[in-house]
Amino acid sequence: MERDTKVPSREEIRDILELRHGKEIQQKLSDARVAVAGLGGLGSNVAVQLARTGVGHLHLIDYDCVDLSNLNRQHYFIRHLGKPKTDALREQLLEIHPYLDIQTDTVKVTQDNVAELFAEDEIVCEAFDVPENKAMLVNGIMEHFPEKYLVCGSGMAGFGDSNAIHTRRVMKRIYLCGDEMTEAVEGRGLMAPRVALCAAHEANMILELILNIMQQGGN
């Protein structure tokens, strides 16, 4: 038998986050605007971690629907099968923090819509599977929004060395997370632990940008 649960008030959630993080830090998180492009194994886990931390404005972008093959590593459940990933993930995030500002775009990111899609976002998290799509997004952000920060993922397949997953700055406002080597191939697919490790690196880098680097002007 299901138990009715009272939804905490906005003030109650704010107070508990401030208790955990500190008032000044939580205000910066609440004000931040982050786009997550691609809501698969990386993006869905990044979004969940940002929501739990209290990042106030999230922009979720993906054109795909939840498939049974996604459940081995992506943050979805049986009840989400067939639903657009944007809708399924938004549902979960609002169960974590019902007062988040969540914008969704159920579209495929292309060269033609980058400028429109990411105009309002401060930080863009790249979480695509296909290398060509990754390159397209990076090039588009650099062309249209050189002032924005970009956090990318590369190399997280298999079950290898956890400590090989790292974060490094590759350009002034672009950061790369992963081992930069292990692509998904037959016999070495994408598995939940390493994908989640890479997602945690991306989410943690986004927090560092919000709370530290952006406050210093990106230096």
pLDDT digits (tens, 9 = 90+) for 171-194: 999 999 999 888 877 778 789 999
Confidence label for 1 from pLDDT (cuts 50, 70 and 90): very low
Exposure string of 146-173, with b = 16+ CB inside 10 Å and e = fewer, is eebbbbbbbbbbbebeeeebebeeeeeb
DSSP 8-state assignment for residue 211 = I
Secondary structure (3-state) at 102: strand
pLDDT, one tens digit per residue, over 96-140 is: 999 999 999 999 999 999 999 999 999 999 999 899 999 999 999
Q: Report the domain count for the chain.
A: 1
The kind and range of the H/E element at 176 are strand 174-178
**For residue 7, is it within any domain?**
no
Structure tokens of 45?
A: 């886990």
**For residue 9, is it within any domain?**
no
Strands 174-178 and 166-171: antiparallel
Count Cβ atoms below 10 Å from residue 83 Cβ, excluding itself: 14
**18-47 mean pLDDT:** 97
Task: Record the pTM.
Answer: 0.94
pLDDT higher than threshold 80 for residue 7: yes
Q: Tell me if 39 sits within 8 A of 47, measured CB to CB.
A: yes
**For residue 134, is it within any domain?**
yes
Supply the CATH number for residue 86's domain: 3.40.50.720
Structure-model confidence comparison of residues 185 and 23, the more confident one = 23
Confidence label for 5 from pLDDT (cuts 50, 70 and 90): confident
Residues 6+ apart with CB under 8 A from 101: 56, 57, 58
Count Cβ atoms below 10 Å from residue 181 Cβ, excluding itself: 11
pLDDT, one tens digit per residue, over 57-71 is: 999 999 999 999 999
**Rounded Cα distance, 172 and 38, in Å:** 23
Q: Which domain holds residue 30?
A: 21-216
Average per-residue pLDDT for the chain: 94
